[in-house]
Each structure stands twice: as structure tokens, then as C-alpha cells.
């Protein structure tokens, strides 16, 4: 009778972990979801005029204010956003895209496949390491539906490289009367370097650079529920809204309410980082985390007894989910060895499973995302080791 979908402690060091549910929602979003879950709402009802209304009104004005775009809409996730935009603007038409940006984000999201399912013909431009403005210019023609620029979310190309900036690409697209679509992936609304985090262009910057449409996820750096957000020119957004697929990809009332509450928090830029759990965790300092590791080290050692040795280590967290793929954030945690695999299994068997990572035979717990220190201490009292200590240690050495 135990539910299969359970809460876990994400001590993997990847803050936005796709397998572990990505962003943690702020209280305001959770309360908003409870309210609309319990009561009827004006989800698609215009209270002033007493008529049918639009779902997107609950997020559109806020998204426009935050990004400088003319219009905005939301769908199920960013993959859906891309599918919908490409199908609306480029069904049976060409979509020039750099060979350096044909991304795969986990097995189920491969850009060329999404394009094919959207009815578009991918028109590869440039090479893997170098794409120039002229490559795009030569690909533009009467059959072009939209030009796509995708964020290279989980890799970087280094060495002898060249890519085209949004701004110059937008200019060339507009000279040919073709819209520019930018898939930003994570889509930050705040200036990350201001808080000491790796650089990511904000949605507002990309809109200001001339992108006609920008798509990004709700549950990555934004810190909200799973959603795909599309912002850009009003004319294009209204065409996208009329696509029959929109109905199949739309957002439900729970997530819409969570997203709307989240965007309200962004209006107060000074306080947003303390109110959004995901941003707050990303901004914790290594010193803070290391102090916690020092307090917990003897407690964990006491619980593990002779089964393993625990030490405090410096480590590096990553944002995850395709944000700043090469950027690392200084963090700290506990290293438990020997027998990393066996220790990892024991931590996964706790009533709230603890997920760490394995590194060179050690089990590493990055403590960046540990909020409830006391809860962790009582939780690990349940630790049990399946095999007797001697045999497992011997197996490990063998
Ligand atoms: C994560 C990502 C996606 C997919 O977004 P989902 O919200 O997971 O559907 C698409 N494009 C890029 C560049 C991404 O980083």
C-alpha cells in the first residue's frame, strides 16, 4: 500500500535533477495550488464580463513585465512549447539550425526528432564547432518557416569555435522577413552572476536582442512547476494559440496557479532569491555547508560504526537540468568509504531515501540541498547493512 511516488533527499549535488523532480516550489505556489484544487475558480472565465475567458490571462501580463515581450502563453513543458511553435510556424517548411546545437536532453528529447514530429524540415547550417552568420544567411529562402537557435544545455564546444549571437542572427532573419525562435531551455529571469552563479543570458536579454519567440521551462532555473513558457511577438503568439494542438498541450489549473503565484514573487527582485527554495539552495555558501558537514560527520560515523569511514570533503554542485553545463558551484559534504555501492544502497533503503553520488568508490553526500539537519539525524538511525561487514569488505577489495 505504500505509494510509489515518494519524497527523497536529493544530496546528489545536482540541484535541479530531472530524475528527482527538478525545482522545489515556493510556499506561495503550494498554497495557490491547494486553493484551486479545493474550490471552483475562474480558470477560463472572465469575471468582469461574465463570459468565457482565457487561461493565459493568469500569467501573461506578469511574463510580459518580467521579460519585456509583447505576449506570452504556457503549455505542458518546454518540449511541448517547441513542438507547438515549430508546428505552427514551420509545418512542411524549413528550419535552419546550427549543427553545433542539435541537442539531446536525455533520451526522450532530441531536437531533430521533435522537428520531424512538428512537420518541419531541419536545415542544418554550419559545422559542429563553427557556425557563421553567413551560413544562416545562405540557408534563408522562400521555404524557411522559422530560424531556430537552441541553448546547448548539457555540453559545451571548446577550442576552435564560432557561433552567432542572437542579436546579429535576429537582424539577418528580419532582413529576410523570417522570425527567430530561441529555445533557452532553463530560462533565467534574474541576473545569475550578480549572485555569484555562472552566467546564463536572461529571457529579457534575449527578447531585447530581437528574438521573436523564446521558449523555456517552468521547473528549471525559474523554480516553479513543470511548464513550457512561450514569450514573444503578439502576432505570432496569437497564431500559436489558434493551433489545434494547443488544446492537447495546455497547462492544468494546478500548475497554472502555481506558476502565477511564482511569477508574482519575481516582481520583488530583491526578495525573490530568499523566497524561491531552488534559488536559495543554489546560493548557499560553501562555508555554511561545510559547517553543517562538520556537525554531521561524527553523527554519521557513530551510526555507521565499523561499517565505513566518514570524512568532510569539499565538492562541487551543479545547477543541473541544462543550466550553465560547465559551471560548478563550490560546495561541501560527506565522503563515506570503502564500499560506496553498498553504502549507497543502504541510504536508498531509508524510509525517506537519501540519494547521493558515487565517486572513485566513495559515496558522496553533497549537503547543499539538506535543509532539515535534525530530520536527517533521526532518519539515518534506520541505516541497516544487508551483508555482514567482513564479506562485503573483502568483496570490495577483490
Ligand atoms: C530542458 C530543455 C528542454 C526540454 O524542456 P522540458 O521542460 O524538460 O520539456 C528543451 N530545450 C532545452 C535547450 C532544454 O535545456
DSSP per-residue string spanning 73-112:
EEES-HHHHHHHHHHHHHTTSEEEEEGGG--BSSTT-BHH
Task: Identify the CA nearest to 23 among candidates 193, 226, 212.
Answer: 226
Q: What's the pLDDT at 213?
A: 98
In contact, 227 and 251? CB cutoff 8 Å:
yes
119 CA to centre of ligand 1 in angstroms: 19
Mutate to test the pocket of ligand 1, among 16, 203, 217 (most ligand atoms within 8 A of CB): 217
Name the 3-class secondary structure at 329.
strand
Task: Identify the CA nearest to 164 among candidates 133, 135, 206.
Answer: 133
Q: What's the pLDDT at 335?
A: 97
Q: For cell 517552468, name the residue.
A: 218
Q: What's the pLDDT at 397?
A: 42
- Spatial separation of the C-alpha atoms in residues 346 and 106, rounded to whole Å: 27
174 CA to centre of ligand 1 in angstroms: 26
225 CA to centre of ligand 1 in angstroms: 14
> Considering only CA atoms, which residue is closest to atom 10 of ligand 1?
185
> Considering only CA atoms, which residue is closest to atom 6 of ligand 1?
78
220 CA to centre of ligand 1 in angstroms: 9
- Spatial separation of the C-alpha atoms in residues 99 and 124, rounded to whole Å: 6
Q: What's the pLDDT at 388?
A: 53
Ligand 1 pocket by C-beta < 6 Å: which residues?
77-79, 103, 105, 109, 150-151, 153, 183, 185-186, 217, 228, 321-322
219 CA to centre of ligand 1 in angstroms: 10
Q: For cell 511577438, name the residue.
A: 233
Atom of ligand 1 nearest to the CA of 153: 15
Atom of ligand 1 nearest to the CA of 186: 15
Q: At 246, phi and psi to the nearest 5?
A: -55, -40
> Considering only CA atoms, which residue is closest to atom 1 of ligand 1?
185
153 CA to centre of ligand 1 in angstroms: 8
Cα 289-365-358 angle, rounded to 5 deg: 145
- For residue 107, what are the contacts with CB-CB under 8 A and spacing of at least 6? none
> Considering only CA atoms, which residue is closest to atom 3 of ligand 1?
185
Mutate to test the pocket of ligand 1, among 106, 322, 323 (most ligand atoms within 8 A of CB): 322
**Radius of gyration over alpha carbons of the chain, in Å?**
24
> Considering only CA atoms, which residue is closest to atom 11 of ligand 1?
185
Q: What's the pLDDT at 389?
A: 52
Q: What's the pLDDT at 395?
A: 47
Omega before residue 338 within 30° of 0, cis: yes
Residue 174, number of CB atoms within 10 A of its CB: 13
Give the residue ranges of the chain where pLDDT is below 50: 392, 394-398
Residue 9, number of CB atoms within 10 A of its CB: 22
Atom of ligand 1 nearest to the CA of 218: 7
82 CA to centre of ligand 1 in angstroms: 9
- Count of CA atoms in the C-beta half-sphere (13 A) of 135: 18
Q: What is the DSSP string of 222-289?
A: T-SSS-EEEEE-HHHHHHHHHSTHHHHHPPPHHHHHHHHHHHHHHTSHHHHHHH-HHHHHHT--HHHH
Amino acid at each position: 500500500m505504500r505509494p510509489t511516488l515518494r519524497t527523497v533527499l536529493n544530496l546528489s549535488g545536482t540541484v535541479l535533477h530531472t530524475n528527482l523532480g527538478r525545482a522545489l516550489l515556493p510556499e506561495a505556489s503550494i498554497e495557490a495550488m491547494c486553493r484551486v484544487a479545493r474550490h471552483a475558480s475562474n480558470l477560463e472565465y472572465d469575471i468582469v464580463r461574465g463570459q468565457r475567458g482565457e487561461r493565459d490571462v493568469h500569467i501573461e501580463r506578469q511574463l510580459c513585465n518580467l521579460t519585456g515581450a509583447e505576449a506570452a502563453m504556457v503549455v505542458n513543458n518546454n518540449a511541448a512549447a517547441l513542438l507547438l511553435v515549430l508546428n505552427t510556424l514551420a509545418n512542411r517548411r524549413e528550419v535552419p539550425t546550427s549543427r553545433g546545437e542539435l541537442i539531446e536532453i536525455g533520451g526522450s528529447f532530441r531536437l531533430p526528432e521533435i522537428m520531424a514530429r512538428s512537420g518541419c524540415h531541419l536545415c542544418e547550417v554550419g559545422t559542429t564547432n563553427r557556425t557563421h552568420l553567413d551560413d544562416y544567411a545562405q540557408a534563408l529562402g522562400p521555404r524557411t518557416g522559422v530560424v531556430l537557435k537552441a541553448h546547448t544545455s548539457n555540453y559545451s564546444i571548446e577550442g576552435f569555435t564560432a557561433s552567432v549571437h542572437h542579436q546579429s542572427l535576429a537582424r539577418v532573419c528580419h532582413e529576410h522577413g523570417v522570425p527567430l525562435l530561441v529555445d533557452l531551455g532553463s530560462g533565467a529571469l534574474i541576473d545569475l552572476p550578480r549572485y555569484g552563479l555562472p552566467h546564463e543570458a536572461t529571457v529579457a536579454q534575449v527578447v531585447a536582442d530581437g528574438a521573436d519567440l523564446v521558449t523555456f521551462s517552468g521547473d528549471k532555473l525559474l523554480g516553479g512547476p513543470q511548464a513550457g513558457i512561450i514569450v514573444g511577438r503578439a502576432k505570432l503568439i496569437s497564431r500559436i494559440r489558434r493551433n489545434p494542438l494547443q488544446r492537447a498541450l495546455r497547462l492544468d489549473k494546478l500548475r497554472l496557479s502555481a506558476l502565477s503565484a511564482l511569477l508574482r514573487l519575481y516582481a520583488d527582485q530583491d526578495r525573490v532569491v530568499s523566497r524561491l527554495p531552488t534559488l536559495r539552495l543554489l546560493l548557499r555558501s560553501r562555508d555554511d555547508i561545510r559547517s553543517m558537514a562538520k556537525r554531521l560527520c561524527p553523527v554519521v560515523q557513530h551510526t555507521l560504526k565499523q561499517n565505513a569511514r566518514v570524512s568532510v570533503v569539499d565538492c562541487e554542485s551543479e545547477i543541473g537540468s541544462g543550466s550553465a553545463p560547465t559551471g560548478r558551484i563550490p560546495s561541501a559534504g560527506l565522503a563515506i568509504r570503502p564500499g560506496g555501492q553498498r553504502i549507497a544502497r543502504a541510504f536508498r533503503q531509508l524510509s525517506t531515501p537519501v540519494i547521493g553520488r558515487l565517486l572513485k568508490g566513495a559515496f558522496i553526500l553533497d549537503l547543499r540541498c539538506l535543509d532539515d539537519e535534525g530530520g536527517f539525524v533521526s532518519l539515518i538511525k534506520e541505516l541497516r547493512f544487508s551483508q555482514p561487514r567482513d564479506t562485503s569488505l573483502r568483496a570490495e577489495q577483490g
